[in-house]
Structure 1
Amino acid sequence: MRGIIPLLLSAALSAPAVFAGPIARSPYVVKETHNPPREWTKLGRAKGDNVIQLQIGLKQGNFEELERLLYEVSDPFHERYGKHLNSEEVNELVRPSKESSDFVHEWLRENGISDMGYSSAKDWIIVHLPVESVERLLDTEYHNYKHEDGTMIARTTRWSLPRHLHDHIDTIQPSTSFFRAASNKADWVQAPPEIPASYKKPSNESIAKVCNVTSVTPECFATLYSTKWYKPEAAGKNKVGFTNYLGEIPIRTDTELFLKKYRPEAAESARTFKAYSIDNGPVQDGPLTANQSESDISHEANLDVQAIAGISWPTPIDSYSTGGEPPFIPDLSTPTNTNEPYLAWVNWLLEQENIPQVISTSYGEPEQSVPRSYAERVCRQFAQVGARGTSLLFSSGDRGLGGTNKCYSNDGKNTYGFLADFPVSCPFVTGVGATMNFEPEEAVYRPARNTSTGFRDLYASGSGFSAYFERPKYQDKVVTQYIKNLNGLYDGSYSKGGRAYPDISAQGLQFAYFWNGTEGTISGTSASCPLAAGIISLVNDALIASGKRQLGFLNPWLYSKGYKGFTDITVGYSYGCNVQGFPVTEGWDPITGYGTPNFAEIVKQTDAKYDW
């Protein structure tokens, strides 16, 4: 996807810059190497006159101070708790030093580059350049790479900078990134499936009355997670949002059909939720066109908006559609390389004065497809959002430990190992896994099998330990104990010292929803994540109605006291990578986190009033 959006550009970028010939202040030295995952095949050289929107991430001035403040305003036992930063305060902390800014601008000008755009904190510089010019700038070669699903991109596996710039530039993309931001939805069916033989009907009459395992509805979620009797009071001050990529569009007519059937009092909100276009992202008010229907798009976007609206109405909803859609065909004269999904959205968000208190994202893919330097910088952008008081929820993935027959590293040796996902592996976001059944809930699982339409991979709640990000302090106690209790199980297959996920979970199997005018069901952590976001938005409603601040970055609160408001899940395994995987246990585990939300109990763990 396209990198930074036009709204961030402070200078017109109507034509690519022209090089006047490099003037190196110091010799070029390799800055980064990154091998593509084995699903990618290297082809011929990329076409030199194709234009790339190059994103240059300058070293941020004082991120360490921002991180310290983020944890203070997110710690319920700290005196600064809830005193979130505003956009100007965040920008001032991450603005690059004058030295870094001067060195990088001098380098670009020496290479004939004058048209530049910027992020709000000036920590990203954006230029449009032909591939051949980027190759000279970075002393590298771009080749075409083809993914096994047909996606085509132009990338390199190594790039260089003058030695004196290494400490002033963190990352430059698109260069070595091979990620595609796949949505975490398992599948959808029009006809409800048969009830599994192992399913046991809940003994709780209230739950049994409204929960059907073959098609789970908002009334079931509201009953199961105790939101049914809560009446939101702060809808004018509280908002919830969700992101869309890959050309996905939430279809208002489908959402209206869904709400008329399952939440009729909320039906009007299908026409009034706000839809934002970022970097020419698609928005539309009418139904799917014939071509859109044929291309099978918007299952994800429809699921997101319907899951949120069904649980959190009348809380206003913001939908963000970020432009750029693979495949990028390097042989065609396309204007930009459109495959950088998260940076465009998050930097646009940071430009805004007012942003939702909770935002759900149902996209991700193997961490190793993203260069470490780029993943770290995008993660830092998420920290900036958290410092402003927004909870970022990301789905944990649908392939357990990494899918079937896919768990090999890109270290050049195809080493076997579990594959963590990004962005959920970022320690500044909250990961959401998936559950199924009702009494008790258990970690979601459906085995891989061959079908009439081809092989279908397993569906299991995404589970992992980051190879990029160290375990944050808020996880030390519970994650260390969990690993100790494994007694060496799967040693060598995962990073014991890495950030572990997910943090919480919610229902993620057979959601009732509408697509293209027809009701069906859909599954995935793409379902559990927006559902959890909707419930957290109700908690914020209770807080704001009490004159308190929203929760903001959830994890310090969650791991210190908030976990008491979640129902522990104790049944299941992580699966994936051709093994049974990590076990679900009492307390936190890297499959269901701390479990599923109990709204009334969560509110008790906040400063909100509790008188309903």
Structure 2
Amino acid sequence: MAVMLLAVVAAVAAFPHDDVVLHKREFFPSTYERVEMHRDHEWLATPVTFTILLKQKNLEQLEDLFWKVSDPTHEMYGQFLTAGEVHTMTQTPLKAREEVLNWVQAVYKHVAHQSHELVVVDRHDALRITAPVSVVEALFKTTLAAFKRTRGNFGEKLWIKYIDTISVPRKFENVIDLVTGIVEFAPLPQGLKTYESRARGTFNCNVPYTMKRMYSIDEDLKVATQMASQAPYSEVGNKQEGFGASDLKTFQQINGVEVKAITNIIGDDAPNYTEMDTDTEAALDVQCLTGFAEGANTSFWVMNDWMYEFANEILNTNEPPLVNSMSYGWYESQQCRIDGNCTNEGFGTSEDYVKRTDVEFQKLGVIGITMLAASGDDGVESDKQCDKMRPDYPASSVYVTSVGATAVVDDDQSDPSIPASAPAVCHDSTYDCSCSTSNLEHS
């Protein structure tokens, strides 16, 4: 369990001028544009949440344990640790965490107004911090700016990110790995993709009823234990990124599955979520999850950041869902495109970000959490020049289960008609859905 440390300000320390640059931005992603803000008291007092990632220990031991508890043929299969035991194995030494905390507190004391709150959550190998803009700028010798998305209906929602460099005292060069939260711009969903195929595809509807037949799943199969839990992930719970509570209810009704609302909304952006928020990506996730795993406790993650924060949030959540799905991805080699350019002097590269996030995925596996990632059906396609492989992350991670799609093709055979026992969606012309009748999978 994370320990909450409400900052008790230490004496003002002399700020060293010998700094090392962790991140350097040269451009912004085209899906965002800067919003000019007056640098008045209101802006400088705006709270910002970010995470300082610290060096960890026993990572070889962690990975070894991950493979042992995940291998059905190994004697240690299923012998999971608790989150607390994982923290003990990998945590940054307390002295190093305290030194970083003292630095943060000293800057806060020097810069912040008395009414401004500083909140630090010790996550054992990272410090998750909420502080005013003025403090964050002084801490990292940077400038923060507000951005909005250029696509999508996100209303007045703003993202606060740095715009030049992020520096830390050189004495922390071997203590601090990365800074997240004010660095990366989370990508938009990549959306539906279409591909040409030599085989003639079908245009019939595939719903839980037809897919259960295709995969030989008992139509009456239900989850019999309350221990089962699952949750999809939305990269930001605002306007177009939710699952649509009303749509979910309609889907369940017309497909003849258990009508069960999702009421457990979790994650760092959960307080901003409303039942009106809806998006094709998230709606598809929850509809498939509830349609196939009737009886399971289904939650919905809403995160304001990218994959590291998501994995770390699961690790630090009491009794998190046992199965978590991710329908987002971005080129593994270009995680810094999310940032703009996070490569500088060997710090904060795409490789660094992926390696650190992979460690979080390993921790989740060691405590018995399953992570499912949509592959996007890209495999490891090349870039436009056909000279580099370009897999999507996190589906490319060996520490998650990557899930692709099934193509149903026309095989010129006469398939059986839909029986009367099929749900309303397959019979009622209101839904304009001609359900697939094939019970054969063609991948």
Question: Normalized against structure 1, the TM-score is what?
Answer: 0.54
Counterpart AA for 2:254: K
Aligned to 1:256: 249
Counterpart AA for 1:163: R
Give the Cα–Cα distance (whole angstroms) in 2 for the partners of residues 388 and 274 of structure 1. Answer: 25
The alpha carbon displacement at 1:362 in A equals 1.2
Aligned to 1:499: none
Aligned to 2:300: 319
Within a 5 Å distance, the mapping from 1:95-494 to structure 2 comes to 95-112=91-108, 115-119=118-122, 121-142=123-144, 149=151, 153-180=160-187, 182-186=188-192, 200=200, 213-228=203-218, 231-232=221-222, 234-247=224-237, 248-262=241-255, 264=256, 266-268=257-259, 270-271=260-261, 273-281=262-270, 282=272, 288=276, 297-322=278-303, 324=304, 340-366=305-331, 367-368=335-336, 369=338, 371=342, 372=350, 373-397=352-376, 419-438=390-409
The alpha carbon displacement at 1:88 in A equals 1.7
The alpha carbon displacement at 1:432 in A equals 1.9
Give the Cα–Cα distance (whole angstroms) in 1 for the partners of residues 31 and 165 of structure 2. Answer: 16
Contact 1:36 1:178 in 2 (8 A): no
1:30 matches 2:37: no
Counterpart AA for 1:135: E
Contact 1:28 1:139 in 2 (8 A): no
Q: Cα 1:21–1:428, aligned 2, differ >3 Å: closer, same or farther?
A: same
Counterpart AA for 1:394: A
Aligned to 1:207: none
The alpha carbon displacement at 1:256 in A equals 2.8
The alpha carbon displacement at 1:74 in A equals 0.9
Give the Cα–Cα distance (whole angstroms) in 1 for the partners of residues 183 and 317 of structure 2. Answer: 30
Give the Cα–Cα distance (whole angstroms) in 2 for the partners of residues 45 and 65 of structure 1. Answer: 48
Contact 2:10 2:102 in 1 (8 A): no
Within a 5 Å distance, the mapping from 1:14-29 to structure 2 comes to 23-24=14-15, 27-29=18-20
The alpha carbon displacement at 1:310 in A equals 1.7
The alpha carbon displacement at 1:110 in A equals 3.2
Contact 1:155 1:174 in 2 (8 A): no
2:266 counterpart SS class: strand
Cα shift readout 1:13-70 (whole Å, capped 9, x = no counterpart): 8xxx999876245721223335546636886987461442121112123333222211
Contact 1:159 1:175 in 2 (8 A): no
The alpha carbon displacement at 1:173 in A equals 2.2
Aligned-residue identity in percent: 23
Contact 1:55 1:125 in 2 (8 A): yes
Indicate the larger mover: 385-394 or 223-232: 223-232
Counterpart AA for 1:59: K
Question: Mind listing any 5+ residue stretches in structure 2 that lack a counterpart?
Answer: 110-116, 153-157, 343-349, 412-423, 434-440
1:30 counterpart SS class: strand
Contact 2:108 2:135 in 1 (8 A): no
2:80 corresponds, among 78, 84, 90, to 84
Contact 1:10 1:118 in 2 (8 A): yes
Please provide the CA RMSD for this pair: 4.1
Question: Mind listing any 5+ residue stretches in structure 1 that lack a counterpart?
Answer: 1-6, 189-195, 202-211, 325-339, 409-414, 441-511, 522-566, 570-612
Question: Normalized against structure 2, the TM-score is what?
Answer: 0.72
Q: What is the aligned residue count?
A: 384
The alpha carbon displacement at 1:277 in A equals 3.3
Q: Cα 1:22–1:401, aligned 2, differ >3 Å: closer, same or farther?
A: farther
Counterpart AA for 1:73: V
Aligned to 2:60: 64
2:406 counterpart SS class: strand
2:404 counterpart SS class: strand
Q: Cα 1:398–1:131, aligned 2, differ >3 Å: closer, same or farther?
A: farther
Give the Cα–Cα distance (whole angstroms) in 2 for the partners of residues 44 and 318 of structure 1. Answer: 34
2:118 counterpart SS class: coil
Give the Cα–Cα distance (whole angstroms) in 2 for the partners of residues 42 and 306 of structure 1. Answer: 33
The alpha carbon displacement at 1:171 in A equals 1.0
Q: Cα 1:198–1:101, aligned 2, differ >3 Å: closer, same or farther?
A: closer
Contact 1:185 1:398 in 2 (8 A): no
The alpha carbon displacement at 1:350 in A equals 2.0
Q: Cα 1:36–1:22, aligned 2, differ >3 Å: closer, same or farther?
A: farther
Give the Cα–Cα distance (whole angstroms) in 2 for the partners of residues 152 and 112 of structure 1. Answer: 22
Contact 1:256 1:267 in 2 (8 A): no
Give the Cα–Cα distance (whole angstroms) in 2 for the partners of residues 145 and 54 of structure 1. Answer: 16
Give the Cα–Cα distance (whole angstroms) in 2 for the partners of residues 257 and 350 of structure 1. Answer: 33
Give the Cα–Cα distance (whole angstroms) in 1 for the partners of residues 263 and 33 of structure 2. Answer: 41
Give the Cα–Cα distance (whole angstroms) in 2 for the partners of residues 174 and 233 of structure 1. Answer: 37
Q: Cα 1:216–1:419, aligned 2, differ >3 Å: closer, same or farther?
A: same
1:434 counterpart SS class: coil
2:395 counterpart SS class: coil
The alpha carbon displacement at 1:395 in A equals 1.3
Cα shift readout 1:332-356 (whole Å, capped 9, x = no counterpart): xxxxxxxx24444433322344333
